[in-house]
Amino acid sequence: FTEIAVTKLDVLDVYERIPFCAQYELDGRRTCDMPPTAALERVRPCYETLAGWLEPITGMHDRAGLPKEARAYLTRIEQTVGAPIGMVGVGPERTATLL
């Protein structure tokens, strides 16, 4: 990927803590890769907990203006997928997009 898009970031405004799955456990071993469909019954997601921000972000105009916890969440996504986030949706309107 050259970059990814994150939509509906604003729906996480109400959570104190946000579970984040960056790895899976399959047959006692952890992996960052999505296991094959045939193995899904044996897979367990491994969650880490990230801090929520508990404040509305709808109406924000740039990523730097987001609460530090929201920025940390986005950074964790970038680290996990290995690509930068080029677009962030922060509300229901088409214009509620940070580029």
Tens digits of per-residue pLDDT, 21-76? Answer: 999 999 999 999 888 999 999 999 999 999 999 999 998 999 999 999 999 999 99
pLDDT higher than 80, residue 1: no
User: Comparing 16 with 33, which gets the higher pLDDT?
Assistant: 16
What domains can be seen in the chain, in order of their start residue? Answer: 1-14+54-99 (3.90.170.10), 17-51 (no CATH)
Tokens of 21: 């799955």
The alpha helices in 10-67, defined as continuous H runs, are none
Give the pLDDT confidence score for residue 40 in this predicted structure: 92
Judged by phi (left if over 0) then psi (alpha if -120 to 50, else beta), residue 28 lies in left
Give the pLDDT confidence score for residue 59 in this predicted structure: 87
